[in-house]
Amino acid sequence: MHLSKRLPLLLLALAGPLSAWAATPDEDAIRAVLMAEFDKPDARLAVQPVVVAGQHAIAGWFQGSRGGRALMRRHGSAWQIVLCSGHGLKNPQALRDAGIPSGAAARLLEDLARAEAALSPARRQQVSSFDGTVRMDAHGQHPPGHKP
């Protein structure tokens, strides 16, 4: 079989696995919000993974040696940061306390566990390293006096 006949088959075979990596519009929007808020030329931000369940999402983030998770909520067509935390965002009660319905909280945690399993052990430790919980205001800002 000539290459010209095999190329479409090869592309089709690769399309399935590659499409699993494609970000959804919600994931792209969430990354954009976090990048706009926290990315700095001298402290680049990486956002991964991002999991979405209905009107809520959890996004892992890495900035230098620091890391954590951001809880996001959709307001209309826009995503807003609700709070930043580390391991605490893996607690179902913490999600329910943040106003996430039980079903959505369970789905977020299942999807988060699956997505974080693909991270290296060092990255999994880093994303859980954020100490405490910092609530954000309606504009995604840290409260006055908080030092990130």
Locate the domains of the chain by residue range: 24-135
What's the whole-model pTM score?
Answer: 0.80
Each residue of 20-78: pLDDT tens digit? 457 899 999 999 999 999 999 999 999 999 999 999 999 999 999 999 999 999 999 99
Other CB atoms within a 10 A radius of the CB of residue 111 amount to 17
Q: What separation in angstroms does the CA of 13 have from each of 2, 21, 69?
A: 17, 14, 34
Mean pLDDT throughout 123-143? 80
Residues 8, 148: Cα–Cα separation, whole Å: 50
pLDDT interval class at 14 (50, 70, 90): very low
Question: Considering the chain, what percentage of its residues have pLDDT values greater than 90?
Answer: 76
7: pLDDT strictly greater than 50? no
